[in-house]
């Protein structure tokens, strides 16, 4: 029988109300008590899948095998399509790219998007921790890329989380002229991770993925090509962080909207129902655009919202991924 997950008292302070050290302890308890027991398994991660050590070849199974695993040398010799088989690595290296740009400072619910990103990183770090497993990555902010080499151990993970919690916030820009001239982009961060991650592993991107999205919903995001190259070598998990007010406007009268990346301002009368409907339709199209780009890139997609239980969303995602991974094996077992 599965033990019920521990709950906090009703009057317990929210994560955003705690000091950095208190938040770290709360996050560790949440992950280890609520998630870890439900997602057990040696060297488990947020994405089940093959490792990187070649263990031979076998015939290609249409609809089950990925074309990028084709063993072209064996295929040429035998004239029958073959794919490479691999054994899971004994040690897992996880690389993080965490977006701390101004748009990630927005939030109207229990957490803002930056704080939710910290929770996601904590889940990744504590769930993939193990003997020999390493964690490294980059923090992407307005002032540049801050790099963390891949290391193992709880102390290293807590140091990375503390750096993320205490990273400077811009608070938005009072005027467009005060915005940075050329802050690093999400594409820069993806390229940086690709240079750091020389051995196949798990790459986790935590962002709202709004950077550089074209106005045309059919357009291609500038970071899509780099993400596709990254996913060709690594397992990639894209954690998309959103806030409910980014998806729809409340009817609260006159409000001032501020672009956190540029400081541009615009007054909007939310009492106009047609305007609210156009806003919601545009927001939905934008999120669909992000999801399509992630799907084309070959990355797994995990959506987290500031007004939802992030730990429950992670559990659902992992179980869904494991069901998908087990389905072909079950189908093969049923034949014969």
CB distance 192 to 147 below 8 Å: yes
Mean residue pLDDT of the chain comes to 81
What's the pLDDT score for residue 55? 52
What's the pLDDT score for residue 16? 65
Q: Per-residue pLDDT for 131 more than 50?
A: yes
Continuous H helices in the chain: 20-29, 72-78, 113-128, 154-165, 186-196, 224-233, 273-297, 310-334
Segment 212-260, tens digit of pLDDT: 898 888 889 999 999 999 999 899 999 999 999 999 999 999 988 888 7
Segment 294-328, tens digit of pLDDT: 999 999 999 999 999 998 899 888 888 777 766 65
DSSP 209-228: --TT--SSTTSPPTTHHHHH
Point out the least confidently predicted range of 2-16, 48-62, 178-192, 322-336: 2-16
With both helix axes pointing from N to C terminus, report the angle between 224-233 and 273-297 in degrees, rounded to the nearest 10: 40
Segment 144-197, tens digit of pLDDT: 899 999 999 889 999 999 999 888 887 544 444 444 557 899 999 999 999 999
Side-chain-side CA neighbours of 34 within 13 Å: the count stands at: 20
Confidence at 87, pLDDT banded by 50, 70, 90 = very low
Give CA–CA dist 7/17, Å, rounded: 18
Give CA–CA dist 173/249, Å, rounded: 22
**79 vs 46, more confident:** 79
What's the pLDDT score for residue 9? 45
- β-sheet bridge partners, residue 203: 95, 236
């Amino acid at each position: 029988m599965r033990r019920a997950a521990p709950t906090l008292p009703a009057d317990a302070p929210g994560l955003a109300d705690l000091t950095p050290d208190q938040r770290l302890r709360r996050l560790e308890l949440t992950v280890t008590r609520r998630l870890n027991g439900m997602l057990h398994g040696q060297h488990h991660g947020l994405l089940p899948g093959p490792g990187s050590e070649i263990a031979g070849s076998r015939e290609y199974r249409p609809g089950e095998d990925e074309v990028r695993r084709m063993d072209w040398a064996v295929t040429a010799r035998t004239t029958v399509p073959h794919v490479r088989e691999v054994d899971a690595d004994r040690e897992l290296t996880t690389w993080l790219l965490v977006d701390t740009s101004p748009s990630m400072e927005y939030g109207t619910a229990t957490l803002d998007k930056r704080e939710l990103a910290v929770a996601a990183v904590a889940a990744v770090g504590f769930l993939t921790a193990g003997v020999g497993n390493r964690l490294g990555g980059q923090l992407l902010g307005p002032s540049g890329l801050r790099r963390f080499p891949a290391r193992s151990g709880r102390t290293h993970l807590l140091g990375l989380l503390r750096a993320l919690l205490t990273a400077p916030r811009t608070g938005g820009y009072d005027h467009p002229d005060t915005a940075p001239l050329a802050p690093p982009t999400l594409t820069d961060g993806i390229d940086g991770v690709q240079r750091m991650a020389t051995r196949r592993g798990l790459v986790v991107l935590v962002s709202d993925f709004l950077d550089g999205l074209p106005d045309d919903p059919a357009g291609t995001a500038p970071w899509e090509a780099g993400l596709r190259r990254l996913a060709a070598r690594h397992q990639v998990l894209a954690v998309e962080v959103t806030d409910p007010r980014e998806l729809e406007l409340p009817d609260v009268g006159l409000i001032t909207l501020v672009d956190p990346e540029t400081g541009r301002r615009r007054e909007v009368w939310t009492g106009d129902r047609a305007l609210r409907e156009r806003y919601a339709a545009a927001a939905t199209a934008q999120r669909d655009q992000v999801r399509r780009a992630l799907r084309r890139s070959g990355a797994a997609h995990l959506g987290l919202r500031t007004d939802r239980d992030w730990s429950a969303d992670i559990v659902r995602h992992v179980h869904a991924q494991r069901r998908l991974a087990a389905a072909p094996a079950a189908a093969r077992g049923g034949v014969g």
